[in-house]
Amino acid sequence: MTELPTKTDRKLGLLIDLDTCVGCHACVISCKGWNTENYGAPLSDQSAYGANPSGTFLNRVHSYEITPDVGAAQLIHFPKSCLHCEDAPCVTVCPTGASYKRVEDGIVLVNESDCIGCGLCAWACPYGARELDAAEGVMKKCTLCVDRIYNENLPEEDRVPACVRTCPAGARHFGDFADPDSAVSKLSAERGGMDLMPEQGTKPVNKYLPPRPKDTMEEIDVLAPLLAPVAEEPKGFMAWLDKTLEKI
Amino acid sequence: MHPAPSVIIFTTLSGLGFGLLFFLGFGMPAPKGLVAFIFFAIAYVLAVGGLLSSTFHLGHPERAIKAFSQWKTSWLSREAWLAVAALITMAIYGAGLVFYGVAVAPIGWIGGLLSLATVYATSMIYRQLKTVPRWNTPMTPLLFLLFSLAGGALLSGQVQIALLLLVSVGIAQIAYWIGGDQALEKSGTNLSTATGLGRNGAVRAFEPPHTGTNYLLREFVYVVGRKHAAKLRIISLILTIGTPVLILSLTVTHVTALIAVLSHIAGVFVSRWLFFAQAEHIVGLYYGKR
């Protein structure tokens, strides 16, 4: 049913460190790689090698430029996928019950055999987290790799979402935000984990760690005293010559 | 928002059809026999044709029956129920008029109200979306209901009521446009809140995730034709309200009435196209677009 649970036992989600992300897009590729051959319909591409390629992705990395009032501009790489909102507007609008939020861990999923592909859930999502697959005609979204995190056939270190497992910079963290003592909750509290578009009232579970302010270093240059300009103002005859030559 | 032809046709024609059913249900007019058959046939072609058209934008229309299940939360599901209830109730009322020449008034009233409720449910699908500030206003249901009623009055030949409703549509339409043009700014959502990066300085979209386009951009960031919006608004007002009001103020014959109706329908199509094409979805902000 598309009624949201009043409370979920756990709140599994991602903590994404915007200070650390290097914008390599490895999470995008590993996400597509895992999810195109596991849960649900594959993530299709249209004209992948043609003039106008397009395809379904559950995770995309934007890049933004921040220009502070003083100092140099900063480039921030910004991975974006489903935030598994507590008050998920995509779930309640679904007419068929295909979209649902799990009571046990808060993951928002689509039951693809019930999806009619009306697209209303994608309309209701502020974050662009849902994409209608052009080949299958059903809605695709991040599953938080539900087929990895509980998969006992995988070695334990692999039981995290593919994007987290692959991130070479360690910018992505996975855990339970309902537990205040979990690593993600602690890190989020310490670094001021923030919600995207809080004014939309979706109460996202995923949090973003803001880029830390650039530290400023005092300029220390051991050679500076030796490089002081040696040219002095000329005096006497040389001063007269200098002036005269200037006038000519 | 992408102005999908199937959805524009659906909302326009169904709105008119249910508007006509509303007036028929309240006995304005209460024809009998063949005339009743023609009135009801027109209403059903418009209402059902529109509903069928709406299934063309579905990825899996064969599963459409499942859309009846989530009426507790989903306006789309409620719309499906109300449409079926209105069509069945009005079919019973219509059968009485066509075959027996009997008007069972209470059934007509219920059917008429269900018809209007269907239009309201359609409009709520758009009105509920906080992600599209231009739609997220009580003006959206008001506009949809007024369009439906004005079209219904025009089709059912209620000249005085039609004149009043057409003028109301015009006022509501202009108010909707004026409010809508400021809706995105007033919503308080911008690239700064979308990324949370605003506290560090001015944020600018530097690079999109991919060089190519994607579903989100095709569906939500439709900017083609927006530059003609002002002209299209005037064209829409003239066709929807200007022509019919002029004709209804003069002598009405079957031919001029047909011209008034066709002009009105064409105008509603233009208005509905603008309703979608001008609506900005906030996901566009992530792409530095609107």
Question: CA–CA separation, B10 vs A248, rounded Å?
Answer: 86
Q: Which amino acid is at A115?
A: C
The answer for residues whose C-beta is within 8 angstroms of residue B225's C-beta and 6 or more apart is: B232, B277
What token pair was written down for B147? 């369009």
Give the best residue of A94, A115, A121, A140 to mutate against chain B (max B CB count within 10 A).
A94
Asked if A213 reaches chain B (Cβ–Cβ under 8 Å), the answer is: yes
Asked if A87 reaches chain B (Cβ–Cβ under 8 Å), the answer is: no
Asked if A111 reaches chain B (Cβ–Cβ under 8 Å), the answer is: no
Dump strand ranges (E) for A164-233. 172-176, 207-209
Q: Which amino acid is at B45?
A: V
In contact, A101 and A9? CB cutoff 8 Å: no
Taking CB atoms and an 8 Å limit, are B72 and A3 in contact across chains? yes
Hey, is A21 helix, strand or coil?
A: coil
Asked if A201 reaches chain B (Cβ–Cβ under 8 Å), the answer is: yes
Taking CB atoms and an 8 Å limit, are A96 and B202 in contact across chains? no
The answer for residues whose C-beta is within 8 angstroms of residue B2's C-beta and 6 or more apart is: B218, B219, B220, B222, B276
Domain boundaries, chain B: 5-287
Q: In what order do the strands lie in the sheet with A12-17?
A: A172-176, A12-17, A207-209
Tens digits of residue pLDDT in A73-85: 999 999 999 999 9
Give the best residue of B286, B287, B289 to mutate against chain A (max A CB count within 10 A).
B286
**CATH 3.30.70.20 at A12-209, yes or no:** yes
What token pair was written down for B150? 């004005």
Give B63's contacts in chain A (Cβ within 8 Å): 96, 114-116
What is B105-145 written as a DSSP string?
Answer: HHHHHHHHHHHHHHHHHHHHHHHT-TTSTTTSSTHHHHHHH
Please report, in tens digits, the pLDDT of each residue of chain B (290 residues total): 999 888 999 999 999 999 999 999 999 988 888 999 999 999 999 999 988 888 888 999 999 999 999 999 999 999 999 999 999 999 999 999 999 988 899 999 999 999 999 999 999 999 999 999 999 999 999 999 999 999 999 999 999 999 999 999 999 999 999 999 999 999 999 999 999 999 889 999 999 999 889 999 999 998 776 778 999 999 999 999 999 999 998 877 888 999 999 999 999 999 999 999 999 999 999 999 87
Nearest CB to B204 within list A3, A65, A80: A65
Nearest CB to A94 within list B61, B70, B220: B70
Size of interface A-B (CB pairs under 8 A): 198
| Paired sense of beta strands A207-209 and A12-17, if any | parallel
DSSP annotation of B97 reads I
Give A192's contacts in chain B (Cβ within 8 Å): none
Give A91's contacts in chain B (Cβ within 8 Å): 73
* Residue keyed to tokens 């809140």: B193
Q: What is the CATH number assigned to the segment(s) B5-287? A: 1.20.1630.10
